[in-house]
Structure 1
Amino acid sequence: MKLQEHQQWLVDFYKKRNWYQYSPFVHLNFLTEEVGELSRAVRAIEIGRDHPGETQKNQAELDYNLKEELADVMDQLLVISSVYGIKPEELLQQSEDKLKKRFKKE
């Protein structure tokens, strides 16, 4: 699946649930929540989770959770960018152009 197709799928999905009409500030809050969950997933892999209320996860579960949280963060970025009419490919190009310019001497 291409990023732009996924972005459109997300927009349609969010519109069906009446989530898309929220302001970019609300979507940014969703992104912040997802970044926190991603942080927790990375922590679980890198240093573990010493929490008595949680069961120990095996490596496959940790990897699955990491992918899930990375996808959630990506989805929120795609939703926010769609609100502003920005295509995913534009984001990728912007990133590459910025880094090439910044580190052109390397």
Structure 2
Amino acid sequence: MILNLKEHQQWLTEFYKKRGWYQYPTFVHLNFMTEEVGELSRAVRAIEIGRDHPGEMKKTPEELQDNLEEELADVMDQVLMISSKYDVDPEILLKRSESKLTRRFKK
């Protein structure tokens, strides 16, 4: 099933409510996002410079790509959860991003 951002945000919000995670204060969700950004950093590092760690098996390029996509999705989900807590439509975030960058770098 392919969803747009708003549909995914709604699905995710319901999922979090069913798990009892939605009611956490927003700063807790921000901490979750910080954790996910750390995991994303690790995934990027593994692709860019590798990981020389004796406790980890070397991953294939496909496994590295899969991990990168998973961590990017986790970060996105936390952005969507914080947006949901403040009743922000994620489509507005896309428009605001484009508008800000267009205005800032207009020549």
If the TM-score is normalised by the length of the shorter chain, which range does it land in? over 0.9
Matched residues in 2 for 1:2 and 1:64: separation?
A: 21
Instruction: Return the offset for 1:17.
Output: 0.7
Alignment of 1:39-58 (within 5 A): 39-58=41-60
> Residue 72 of structure 2: which of 70, 88, 91 is its match?
70
Identify unmatched segments of 5+ residues in structure 1. Answer: none
Identify unmatched segments of 5+ residues in structure 2. Answer: none
User: Could you tell me the TM-score, scaled by structure 2's length?
Assistant: 0.97
Residue 82 of structure 1: aligned partner:
84
Matched residues in 2 for 1:17 and 1:92: separation?
A: 28
Instruction: Return the offset for 1:33.
Output: 0.2
Matched residues in 1 for 2:90 and 2:56: separation?
A: 36
Secondary structure of 1:104 counterpart: coil
Residue 24 of structure 1: aligned partner:
26
Report how many residues are paired.
105
Structure 1 vs Structure 2: percent identity of aligned residues? 72
Could you say what the CA RMSD is over the residues aligned between the two structures, in angstroms? 0.4
Secondary structure of 2:33 counterpart: helix
Secondary structure of 1:62 counterpart: helix
Matched residues in 1 for 2:68 and 2:76: separation?
A: 12
Residue 8 of structure 1: aligned partner:
10
